[in-house]
Amino acid sequence: MQKRNDLRNIAIIAHVDHGKTTLVDGMLQQTQVFRANQKMQERVMDSNDLERERGITILAKNTAITIKDTDGNPVKINIIDTPGHADFGGEVERVLNMVDGVLLLVDAAEGPMPQTRFVLGKALEMGHRVIVVINKIDRRDARADEVLDETFDLFIELGATDEQADFPVIYAIGLTQKAGFDTDLTDDLTPLFDTILKEIPAPEVDADAPLQFLATTLGYDQFRGVTVIGRIFAGKMAHKQTVSRLTLDGDNIPTKIQYLYVQDGLERKEVDAAEAGDIVTIAGLDTIQIGETLADPSNPIALPAIRVDEPTVRMSFSVNNSPFAGKEGKYVTSRQIRKRLFDELKTNVAMQVEETDSADTFTVLGRGELHLAILIETMRREGYEVQVSAPEVVFKEDENGQKLEPFEEVHIETSADTVGSVIEMLGKRKGEMTDMSETKGGNSHMTWIVPTRGLLGFRYQFLTATRGMGIMNTIFNGYHPVVRSEFESRTRGSLVARETGAVTTHGVSNAEVRGILFVEPGIDVYEGMVVGEHQRPGDLSVNVAKKKALDNMRQAFKDIDKGSAPPRHMSLDEHIEYLADDELLEVTPDSLRIRKRVLVTALREREAKRRKAALAG
């Protein structure tokens, strides 16, 4: 075994919005990845449109910089930007297989957050060396010393070894690209680069051993087909080399490496050969799956497959069969939807898709509501038209046959005057408070263990109760015995359109006294479509397409200038949270519409009466 002192492989992990991608931008700029006259966009690593809009990292991406060591020799640093949300933990777990150490980025005011805890726990479990970077120390409410203490406590709580708990600390302002060994910063990021070279171990490799390459991330190049990113753990790899593809089922399939790349800044650079320790991209393979090994045909030894946590939430995806079906989407058939969902499994290892008894419906399982919402939004932007059900949790059984359900660890920060409402809401959802403290700003910070069922549809109600000022973060806690209780996803019913037609001002003025509307005059609706939220429990049918009688023309002008309240506009995430069990969300490239499973008003009301009579009897 020999050390490759010319190479370091690191991942950057942080909570959402702690400045991770901005810091990477600074590292790229200070190592001359960009030309002096080249225009650089902000958050260059967030290449996905959804990532830019939401300000979060969804897909793990890698880049590379080159710096000089103390002897003036060039050292290449492969940097992998990882997702900061536990719903994309499948990306995180794969990435940590490729690196030898991590940078843990923590906000100087907020401190270590739940998602940080999730990824850090995985890194420590793998034995990685961690450099703690306390970022944004220029914030007015920065408390760097307290945050350092909290970070140390988190390391101990997660079972860090003595060596891991003795971590180096760098203070930084990512936006201005400054860093230092204390809060007195230098003019650049040199202290960070020096610490990476000193603390992150160089890969220990055996370049003369038989080849072993682990497939970690899949992609697609329109000119060269399927691409796969991974690390060479042993041996050497060359352009046009014949290798053995060791599948997850144990098969040995000969294949050839048509194209070989390494990362150079943000660009891929084609090379003739690479060796153990390098993170490379291979293109031109017929097919390959994440977790498979490419090995030397004369000595094919498989690496351990990547293990990813099981999904906890599921939703049904089906062909849109509403009266407006097919008007806005490009891909609308079950064959097209099925192909797209199963194609997602090639790159998204934390997701599962199951066939159902109906050829038009598929069950999709993911790590959380956000994980599934990103898939829905991506499909929508690609031109797909589907309808999806409300999220449900995935139950399991232990070895004794006891039924288990997923629980979440919930961290909440809210003002003192709203904390009572939050405690009452989570108490009704069978939550158990494990900790409560007061923050420096006078807010209350609470930690709860809550069944995932109780959190479905909770976020919007939480924001309403805290007047939009509450902060809530969740992380998967584990599977525990089922709580014998039903959870109400909503305390109010829906306003449902009774007739098909265009919404009128007269119809809106009659309906808005019954609740909050989601539609405005001129919008087309159909019978069974949800047009608003009822102010009381239970659904109410309303006619928002009702036209005003024109027989009394002299009086008709009197209500022309009557103003109506603006409708509530909801995001995709809010639509999903709103859904009740008897409702579906119609998703098209142009529209989001909530509808009842049974569209005909008379049939729905008859079924409601039958259920009521059965309960009374």
Assign 3-state DSSP to the chain and report helix, strand, coil percentages, each to 5.
Answer: 25, 30, 40
User: What pLDDT shows up at residue 556?
Assistant: 46
Select from 69, 102, 71 the least CA-distant residue to 190.
69
User: What pLDDT shows up at residue 389?
Assistant: 95
What does the alpha-carbon distance between residue 58 and residue 53 come to, in Å, rounded to a whole number? 11
What does the alpha-carbon distance between residue 288 and residue 270 come to, in Å, rounded to a whole number? 20
How many CB atoms lie under 10 A from the CB of residue 254?
10
What does the alpha-carbon distance between residue 98 and residue 204 come to, in Å, rounded to a whole number? 13
All CATH 3.40.50.300 domain ranges of the chain, comma separated, are 2-203
CATH 3.30.365.10 describes domain 206-295: no
User: What pLDDT shows up at residue 43?
Assistant: 43
List, for residues 124-165, the tens digit of each pLDDT value: 988 999 999 999 999 888 889 999 998 998 899 888 999 999
What does the alpha-carbon distance between residue 475 and residue 410 come to, in Å, rounded to a whole number? 7
Q: Which fold has domain 313-389?
A: Alpha-Beta Plaits (3.30.70)
Select from 308, 302, 283, 275 the least CA-distant residue to 229.
283
User: What pLDDT shows up at residue 3?
Assistant: 87
The CATH class, in words, for 494-616 is mainly beta
All CATH 3.30.70.870 domain ranges of the chain, comma separated, are 313-389
Q: Which fold has domain 397-481?
A: Alpha-Beta Plaits (3.30.70)
Q: Classify burial at 103, counting beta carbons within 10 Å of its beta carbon; exposed 0-12, middle 13-18, buried 19 or more.
A: buried
Those residues of the chain that have pLDDT short of 70 are 16-18, 33-61, 83-93, 114-115, 220, 307-309, 440-441, 488-489, 549-563, 617
CATH code of domain 2-203: 3.40.50.300
User: What pLDDT shows up at residue 541?
Assistant: 93
All CATH 3.30.70.240 domain ranges of the chain, comma separated, are 397-481
